Amino acid sequence: MNNQPSIQRLRRLRQTKTFREIFQETSLSLNDLCLPIFVEEGLDEYQPIESMPGVMRIPEKRLPYEIERIAKAGIKSIMTFGVSHHLDETGSDAWQENGLVSRMSRIAKQTAPELIVMSDTCFCEYTSHGHCGVLHNESVDNDQTIHNLGLQAVAAARAGADFIAPSAAMDGQVAAIRQALDNAGFHHTPIMSYSTKFASALYGPFRDAAGSCLKGDRKTYQMDPMNRREAIRESLIDAQEGADVLMVKPAGAYLDIIRDLRERTELPIGAYQVSGEYAQIKFAAMAGAIDETRVTLETLGSIKRAGADIIFTYFALELAEKGLL
C-alpha cells in the first residue's frame, strides 16, 4: 500500500476560494480595458445598434455627458470612432481642424483630461465609398492613403488625442504617421497600430454601428484569417516602423496569434474583442444559453492570458458600472 506511486494532487491548491485566489495566474482589472465608442454628428437622440444590444451611437452633443460617465465609472481609455455626415472621395473631413475626428478628441480631453483618448485613424467612416483610403482604379491607393493618414494623425494630435491608432491596414502607415507627427512637433504622441488586422466576418455588427457604406470587401489590405506567419510578419514590420503598441484584431478566434506575437516582441500588445464577438455573447445570453457575465470575464481573461496587455471591448463600461472589475 505505502509503495503505491503517489498521485499528483493539483486539487490541493483549489480547495477553497482563498486558495484559488492566491494561485490564480491571470487577473483582469479596468486598467486592462479600453472602451470603443461611436459618435455621430448631427444626431438628436441616442441610436441603439440592433446587432450590438446595449451599445448606442452617441449624439455628438451628448459626448461630454458620456465622457463624464465613462471617466466616473473608472474606465482608463477610450477609442473614438466617428459616424460622419461629411463624406467625400478621400475622407477629407478626417483631417480638418474642425472635423469630427478632431472634435471627438477635443471634447473628450476638455471634459476628462485624465481619460486616455485613442483616435482611430482611418478613412472608412469618412469616404463616400466606404473604403479605408483613396480609391484609384477600384483599388485603394496605398501611398496616397498613408500620406493622408499622416494628415489625420496630426489633426488628431493637435486636438489632444493621446494615441494615434491607425486601422487602415496600409503598408508603411506607421512610418508615414511617425514622420508626420514628428515633423509637426508631436514627438511624444505614441502610435498604437492595428498591426495584425484580419479580414474577418466578425466585424459584421460594427458595419451597422459605424454606418458603413462599403460595397465589396477589404481583402486586398486586411489579412487572410488562415495566415499565421504573415500575421507575425505584419506586426513585426509595424514594430520596425516605430509603433509603440501592436494589436491583433479580432481577439478571441486569434489567441494563437496573440501568443505567437507575445513571444516575438517586447512591445505591449493590444487585442480587439470585435463587434461579432460581443454580439455572440450578448445574443447567446439573451437566449438563455450562457451566463453573460461569466462568459464575458472568461473571454477577456483568456485574451489577457494569451499575452494581451490591453483589450478593446464593448463590455468595458457595463463591467465597470456594475462593479464587476
Sole binder of Zn ion in the list 75, 79, 122, 154 (CB under 5 A): 122
List the catalytic residue out of 76, 197, 282, 304.
197
Tell the smallest beta-carbon distance from residue 135 to Zn ion (Å). 13
How far lies 288's CA from each of 258, 283, 284, 292, 300, in Å? 31, 9, 6, 9, 20
260, exposed or middle or buried, with CB in 10 Å at 0-12, 13-18, 19+? buried
Amino acid (1-letter code) at residue 287: A
Radius of gyration of the chain (CA): 21
Q: Please identify, among the stretches 126-134, 138-146, 238-246, 249-257, the one whose residues bind Zn ion according to the rule CB under 5 A.
A: 126-134
Decide: is 58 part of the binding site for Zn ion (CB under 5 A). Answer: no
Decide: is 124 part of the binding site for Zn ion (CB under 5 A). Answer: yes
Amino acid (1-letter code) at residue 312: F
Q: Which lies closer to Zn ion via its Cβ, residue 132 or residue 258?
A: 132
Decide: is 164 part of the binding site for Zn ion (CB under 5 A). Answer: no
First to last CA, the chain: 48
Q: Which lies closer to Zn ion via its Cβ, residue 182 or residue 217?
A: 217
Number of residues this chain uses to bind Zn ion (CB under 5 A): 3
Decide: is 267 part of the binding site for Zn ion (CB under 5 A). Answer: no
- Looking only at residues 15 through 44 of this chain, which bind Zn ion when binding is defined by CB under 5 A? none
Q: Write out the H or E segment, with its range, that includes residue 34.
A: strand 33-40
Tell the smallest beta-carbon distance from residue 218 to Zn ion (Å). 8
- Judged by DSSP in three states, 214 sits in coil
CB 156 within 8 A of CB 102: yes
Decide: is 155 part of the binding site for Zn ion (CB under 5 A). Answer: no
Question: 3-state SS of the chain: helix, strand, coil percent to 5?
Answer: 40, 15, 40
Q: Please identify, among the stretches 29-37, 47-55, 120-128, 287-295, the one whose residues bind Zn ion according to the rule CB under 5 A.
A: 120-128
- The question of whether 197 is a catalytic residue gets the answer yes
Q: Which lies closer to Zn ion via its Cβ, residue 115 or residue 122?
A: 122
Task: Give me the phi and psi of 123, to 5 degrees please.
Answer: -120, -5
CB 297 within 8 A of CB 28: yes
Decide: is 149 part of the binding site for Zn ion (CB under 5 A). Answer: no
List the catalytic residue out of 76, 109, 249, 304.
249
CB 165 within 8 A of CB 119: yes
Rounded distance, CA 25 to CA 23, Å?
6
Q: Which lies closer to Zn ion via its Cβ, residue 265 or residue 273?
A: 273
Decide: is 146 part of the binding site for Zn ion (CB under 5 A). Answer: no
Q: Which lies closer to Zn ion via its Cβ, residue 32 or residue 93?
A: 93
Tell the smallest beta-carbon distance from residue 78 to Zn ion (Å). 18
- The question of whether 61 is a catalytic residue gets the answer no
How far lies 322's CA from each of 138, 208, 286, 293, in Å? 47, 26, 18, 10
Sole binder of Zn ion in the list 118, 132, 140, 308 (CB under 5 A): 132
Residues lying near Zn ion in the complex (CB under 5 A): 122, 124, 132
Residues with catalytic annotation? Answer: 197, 249
